[in-house]
């Protein structure tokens, strides 16, 4: 009886499995435009910073939400504001700068929004005559270079990135903006993610899109490490970038949206999920006056396809599973002929469009509680892909033979392999609203068997707790404090670490009035809220 009850509970949407919130505090004060602090300022330190922590903690995200009378519509639209916490001998200084992207500069010069973003369409210049304004709707919109998602590294250089074909190189010490870099000048792609992976030889991997007469393709890219003997010039260098593999979209007129991908020591997995981009609407969205956000739709009838790519040969295998969506993966590793793949997953891809500024700025009360309770909650899942499939295996036989693993893989009548997942958590996590923004001890354990990951808990529309998860026992440890909203945690290992979790977690925390750096010894997480 308990097994059936557990199965029925796990088949419920995640929003129904998590407790319903009431009396949530408005987070509107967190969503106002900030001011930059280009010159480093000292900070007040509480507690003791371990002596071995020295360096810069870099963060990036939306920081300006209006120009003149024009307002952005979506959280993803805000102009990139870069932050630097510099730690040296127990002291911390803080500085920040707006990215001087073309989008930022043009908007500033004209004191209005002139470059479209994810959820906001730039309106025609009101100073033009009617005919000129009408014709401007038929101009092909240029992709934004408002790189407000992430700091990334290629060949030792720092860039800030978004999900178009443009990045910006930046100085990690001063946060000054350098040149704009166009991916399409190095490799045949029209965009790239803001979440690359790095191998232990120094190469970087990413994914992009390409489309043309032959259809729509998802493209896996490799950027080689910098040549040690080469003289370093102060300019962007993506030379040697190559396409490992191009995967045709299952529906060429409705390719899938994706935010990141999976990588183990020998494989890359692309998750073709049923968040679909309508190509016809994409071609016409400026004419229709709709934002990019409006051409994305959740279409669960397409299910989810895992494309397993051999990093060395480019060979591709396909697996299928039920409709789900994922923004961030936790880790993946190979184990006795299987690829174990852990991800933060949801069961309703409409959630991306819900993070409008209007929704997020709701005042405390029933409207805010109702909005939060309607959101999909992401939960950690484990999928296990058999690397070698016995074509003679019975259709009802579970091909996954790893000990103590509840994930399954079975052959189907159509000759495909269908996957079901294992829940990578216990019910305690539901109290914290699920989790997102997972991080591991990346340098040592990415692509390898691991035990711990760190993430943000979402008991509010913004993250309101830090979590440490043991994937062996599914034990959860939590840090939570009323009125504090942490950002994505970053794990830094101790210099002489003997254990996987020997180190600290860094996070940028926000209140309604302050922003600050928090450093946690990973062993100091409690099992209860504080």
pLDDT in tens, 466-525: 999 999 999 999 999 888 899 999 999 999 999 999 999 999 876 444 566 778 777 666
Q: What is the pLDDT of residue 125?
A: 57
Q: pLDDT at position 130, please?
A: 46
279: pLDDT confidence band, cut at 50, 70 and 90? confident
Neighbours of 282 (CB within 10 A): 16
Among 15-29, 330-344, 357-371, 429-443, the minimum mean pLDDT is found in 15-29
Tokens of 383: 């999928």
32 is in an annotated binding site: no
Q: What is the largest CA-CA distance in the chain?
A: 72
How many residues are given for the chain? 530
74 annotated among ligand-binding-site residues: no
Is residue 195 annotated as involved in ligand binding?
Answer: yes
Domain ranges of the chain: 27-248, 249-424
Cα distance between residue 418 and residue 331, in whole Å = 21
Cα 83 to chain center, whole Å?
18
Q: How confident is the model at residue 82 (pLDDT cuts 50, 70, 90)?
A: very high
For residue 518 the two structure tokens come to 């928090």
Cα separation, 313 vs 320, in Å, equals 22
Percent of the chain at pLDDT exceeding 90 = 74
The predicted pLDDT at position 286 comes to: 55
- Report the alpha-carbon distance of residue 279 to residue 276 in Å, rounded: 9
Tokens of 311: 């990093």
For the beta carbon of residue 75, count every other beta carbon within 10 angstroms.
22
Q: Cα(407)–Cα(420) distance, rounded to whole angstroms? A: 6
Q: Which tens digit of pLDDT belongs to each residue from 321-373?
A: 999 999 999 999 999 999 999 999 999 888 887 899 999 999 999 999 999 99
Q: Which residue has the higher pLDDT, 25 or 286?
A: 25
Q: What is the C-alpha separation between 305 and 369, in angstroms, rounded?
A: 34
Instruction: With a cut of 50, say whether residue 296 has pLDDT above it.
Output: yes
Rg (CA), the chain: 23
Query: Would you place residue 285 in the very low, low, confident or very high pLDDT band (cuts 50, 70, 90)?
Result: low
């Amino acid at each position: 009886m308990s097994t059936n009850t557990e199965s029925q509970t796990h088949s419920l949407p995640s929003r129904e499995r998590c407790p319903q919130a009431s009396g949530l505090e408005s987070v509107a004060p967190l969503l106002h435009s900030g001011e930059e602090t280009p010159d480093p300022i000292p900070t007040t330190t509480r507690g003791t910073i371990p002596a071995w922590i020295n360096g810069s903690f870099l963060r990036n995200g939306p920081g300006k939400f209006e120009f003149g009378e024009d307002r952005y519509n979506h959280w993803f639209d805000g102009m990139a504001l870069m932050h630097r916490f510099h730690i040296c001998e127990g002291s911390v200084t803080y500085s920040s700068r707006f990215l001087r992207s073309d989008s930022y500069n043009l908007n500033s010069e004209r004191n209005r929004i002139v470059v479209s973003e994810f959820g906001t369409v730039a309106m025609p210049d009101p100073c033009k005559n009617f005919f000129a304004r009408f014709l401007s709707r038929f101009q092909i919109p240029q992709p934004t270079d408002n790189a407000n998602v992430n700091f990334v590294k290629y060949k030792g250089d720092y860039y800030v990135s978004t999900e178009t074909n443009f990045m910006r190189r930046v100085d990690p010490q001063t946060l000054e903006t350098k040149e704009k870099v166009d991916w399409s000048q190095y490799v045949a792609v029209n965009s790239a993610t803001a979440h690359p992976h790095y191998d232990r030889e120094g190469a970087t991997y990413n994914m992009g899109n390409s489309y043309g007469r032959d259809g729509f393709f998802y493209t896996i890219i490799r950027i080689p490490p910098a040549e040690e003997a080469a003289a370093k010039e102060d300019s962007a260098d993506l030379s040697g970038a190559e396409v490992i593999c191009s995967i045709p979209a299952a529906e060429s007129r409705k390719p899938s949206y994706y935010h990141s991908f999976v990588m183990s020591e020998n494989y890359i997995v692309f998750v073709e999920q049923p968040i679909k981009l309508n190509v016809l609407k994409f071609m016409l969205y400026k004419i229709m006056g709709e934002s990019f956000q409006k051409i994305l739709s959740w279409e669960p009838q397409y299910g989810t396809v895992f494309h397993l790519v051999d990093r060395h040969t480019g060979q591709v295998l396909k697996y299928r599973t039920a409709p789900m969506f994922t923004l961030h993966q936790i880790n993946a590793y190979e184990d006795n002929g299987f690829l174990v793949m852990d991800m933060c997953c949801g069961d309703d891809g409409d959630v991306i469009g819900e993070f409008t500024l209007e929704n997020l700025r709701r005042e405390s009360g029933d409207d805010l509680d109702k909005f939060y309770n309607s959101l999909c909650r992401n939960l950690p899942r484990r999928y296990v892909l058999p690397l070698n499939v016995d074509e003679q295996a019975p259709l009802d036989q579970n091909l996954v033979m790893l000990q103590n693993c509840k994930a399954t893989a079975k052959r189907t009548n159509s000759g495909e392999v269908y996957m079901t997942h294992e829940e990578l958590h216990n019910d305690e996590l539901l109290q914290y609203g699920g989790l997102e923004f997972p991080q591991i001890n990346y340098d040592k354990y990415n692509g390898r068997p691991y035990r711990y990951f760190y993430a943000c808990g979402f008991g509010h529309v913004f993250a309101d707790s830090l979590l440490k998860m043991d994937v062996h026992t599914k034990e959860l440890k939590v840090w939570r404090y009323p009125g504090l909203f942490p950002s994505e945690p970053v794990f830094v290992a101790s210099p002489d670490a003997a254990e996987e979790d020997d180190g600290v977690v860094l996070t940028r925390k926000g209140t309604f009035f302050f922003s600050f750096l928090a450093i946690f010894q990973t062993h100091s997480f409690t099992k209860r809220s504080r």
